[in-house]
């Protein structure tokens, strides 16, 4: 029988439509390769991108030249523009403002064919450091309230170029999803005087059925009410609401667990398209006792159709306990 | 006379752009698909390409990336009725992205900028 499950933070219901005996290999990957040709992100083509705002690994002092390992550039054709003042206005009961924001692309490697999950941990640390540095920098711009960091991997997940990259968008408003998460976490905190995510971690460690892996600072779980098969959350074990406050040791630990989690996913379903997104506290917030930053990794394995759009429900054919079990055993099976 | 390759599957756009560009003193070569565009790009060695994005077969961004692979210095202007293709990072290979409108001054200005 299917099971309804409720996300303890958002109150979002999902349906576990358990398909008997469904294994990772039963999922059909409907992804086509991103077309080849000239790549604006490759070394030597720096003149086709806007000027870099951050770079790691280049030994010479010439900006926008080859020799880099990680490079952050503003989006050439951004969804929101950085220049201008916020102009909030109302039109009757409707609110609007001009499209101010920052849209940046983190080029994760100079090698066109590198795959994020297979990058060495030392290299991945630079990417996580770049997220932190850019959030801290954009925090100084008081027009912005939130920085959303995300990655699209695979064409089905929205990647338009094969060259490994992630993106960030600084927004003048709080995204609705983050607002709901903050509100849900605050409601829980007001009732129990504990962080809901700290409680989730504590319970997951105790039950040990949805834990994928952990290290000194982080834990990866398949959440109790996941939207898709193999959805994973990576959370700091000790309470922290601000991603950009992580030190180098924590970033190294994060890179390690991220790499391990994605390798486990890839071992279960090779080349699965996915999105990951960072949820952290809003810019210039004081430390939040009720909120806990984390990454959500959502594989693109199911489609969103009328029922999902209309209800906000998701239908997931694989219970997270089974997904966690496959993920735990995946690397061991390969070795 | 500078040579412009105009790749667009809409006859109306071909006629409108051709007239304006020829009035501006440019020679215009037409192609109606991405594949034909690549062929004419190789045969005619244009000084600039104006490229529609949404076309049957190979779309404009794939066409752009093939052309830039052959000649990265060739100026290419993407011209689309839609803004949303700006989210495709492949569009970064272009030199300009102009949204189609009945007033083609933006396009003419971009052409002049890259052919001056």
Pairing of strands B76-80, B48-51: parallel
pLDDT tens digit sequence for B16-74: 999 999 999 999 999 999 999 999 999 999 999 999 999 999 999 999 999 999 999 99
Cα dihedral sign, A30-A36-A38-A40? positive
Q: What is the pLDDT of residue A302?
A: 86
Residue B68 to chain A, least CA–CA distance (Å) = 6
- Torsion region of A81: left, alpha or beta (phi above 0 gives left; psi -120 to 50 gives alpha): beta
- Whether residue A335 is predicted with pLDDT greater than 70 in this model: the reply is no
pLDDT tens digit sequence for A308-327: 889 888 999 999 999 999 99
Which residue in A165, A217, A244, A294 is the catalytic one? A165
Mean pLDDT of A207-231: 97
At A331, the pLDDT band (50, 70, 90 cuts) reads confident
Could you tell me if A257 lies within 8 Å of chain B, comparing CB atoms? Answer: no
Residue-range domain boundaries for chain B: 3-115
> Of all residues in chain A, what percent carry a pLDDT higher than 70?
96
Closest by CA to A109, choosing from A45, A166, A149, A35, is: A166
Q: What is the pLDDT of residue A1?
A: 87
Chain A stretch 98-157, residues whose beta carbon is closer than 8 A to a beta carbon of chain B: 105
Residue A140 falls in the annotated catalytic set: no
CB-CB under 8 Å, B91 with A37: no
SS3 content of chain B, % helix, strand, coil (to 5): 45, 20, 35
CB-CB under 8 Å, B62 with A38: no
Q: What is the pLDDT of residue A30?
A: 67
A97, A87 in Cβ contact below 8 A?
Answer: yes
pLDDT tens digit sequence for A279-303: 999 999 999 999 999 999 999 998 8
The residue assigned the tokens 């917030």 is A285
Domain over B3-115 is classified CATH 3.40.50.2300: yes
Q: What is the pLDDT of residue A305?
A: 86
Q: How many residues does chain B have?
A: 116
Q: What is the pLDDT of residue A200?
A: 98
Mean pLDDT of B72-97: 93
* Beta-carbon contacts below 8 Å between A and B: 54
Write the burial class of residue A125 (CB in 10 Å: 0-12 exposed, 13-18 middle, 19+ buried). Answer: buried
CB-CB under 8 Å, A45 with B65: no
Chain A stretch 38-77, residues whose beta carbon is closer than 8 A to a beta carbon of chain B: 38-41, 45, 48-49, 76-77
The residue assigned the tokens 């083609």 is B104
Task: Give the mean pLDDT of chain A.
Answer: 94
The pTM for the full model equals 0.93
Domain over A3-81+95-334 is classified CATH 3.40.190.10: no
**Residues of chain B neighbouring A45 (CB-CB closer than 8 A):** 72
Closest by Cβ to B90, choosing from A45, A79, A161 = A161
Closest by Cβ to B89, choosing from A37, A79, A105 = A105
Q: What is the pLDDT of residue A20?
A: 61
ipTM, interface predicted TM-score of the complex: 0.88
CB-CB under 8 Å, B88 with A38: no
CB-CB under 8 Å, B87 with A48: no
**Residues of chain B neighbouring A36 (CB-CB closer than 8 A):** 65
Residue-range domain boundaries for chain A: 3-81+95-334
CB-CB under 8 Å, B65 with A36: yes
Q: What is the pLDDT of residue A61?
A: 87
Q: How far is it, in rounded angstroms, from Cα B103 to Cα A126? A: 46
């Amino acid at each position: 029988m299917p099971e309804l499950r409720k996300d303890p933070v958002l109150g979002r219901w999902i349906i576990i439509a358990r398909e008997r005996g469904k294994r990772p290999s039963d999922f059909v990957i409907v992804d086509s390769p991103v077309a080849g040709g000239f790549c604006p992100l490759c070394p030597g083509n720096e003149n086709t991108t806007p000027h870099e705002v951050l770079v790691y690994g280049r030994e010479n002092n010439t900006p926008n030249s080859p020799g880099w390992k990680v490079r952050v550039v503003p989006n050439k054709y951004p969804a929101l523009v950085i220049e201008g003042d916020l102009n909030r206005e109302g039109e009757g009961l409707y609110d609007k403002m001009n499209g101010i924001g920052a849209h940046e692309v983190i080029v994760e490697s100079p090698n066109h064919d590198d795959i994020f999950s297979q990058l060495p941990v030392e290299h991945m640390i630079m990417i996580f450091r770049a997220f932190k540095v850019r959030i801290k920098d954009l925090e100084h711009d008081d027009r912005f309230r939130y920085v959303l960091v995300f990655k699209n991997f695979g064409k089905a997940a929205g990647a338009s170029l094969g060259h490994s990259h992630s993106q960030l968008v600084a927004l003048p408003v709080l995204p609705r999803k983050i607002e709901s998460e903050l509100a849900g976490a605050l409601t829980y905190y007001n009732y129990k005087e504990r962080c809901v995510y700290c409680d989730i971690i504590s319970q997951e460690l105790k039950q040990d059925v949805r834990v994928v892996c952990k290290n000194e600072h982080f834990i990866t779980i398949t959440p109790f009410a996941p939207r898709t098969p193999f959805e994973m959350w990576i959370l700091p074990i000790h309470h922290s609401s601000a991603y950009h406050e992580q030190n180098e040791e924590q970033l190294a630990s994060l890179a390690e667990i991220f790499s391990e989690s994605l390798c486990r996913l890839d071992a279960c379903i090779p080349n699965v398209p996915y999105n990951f997104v960072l949820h952290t506290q809003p810019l210039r917030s004081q430390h939040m006792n009720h909120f806990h930053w984390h990454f959500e990794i959502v594989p693109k394995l199911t489609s969103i159709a009328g029922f999902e759009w209309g209800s906000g429900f998701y239908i997931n054919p694989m219970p997270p306990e089974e997904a966690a079990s496959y993920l735990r055993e995946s690397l061991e099976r390969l070795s | 006379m500078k040579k412009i390759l105009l790749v667009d599957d809409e006859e109306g756009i071909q006629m409108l752009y051709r007239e304006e560009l020829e009035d501006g003193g440019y020679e215009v070569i037409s192609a109606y698909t991405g594949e034909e565009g690549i062929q004419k790009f190789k045969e005619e060695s244009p000084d600039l390409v104006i490229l529609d994005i949404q076309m049957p077969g190979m779309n404009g961004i794939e066409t752009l990336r093939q052309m830039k692979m052959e000649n990265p210095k060739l100026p290419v202007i993407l011209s689309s009725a839609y803004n949303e293709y700006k989210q495709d990072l492949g569009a970064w290979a272009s030199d300009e992205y102009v949204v189609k409108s009945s007033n083609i001054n933006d396009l003419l200005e971009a052409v002049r900028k890259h052919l001056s």
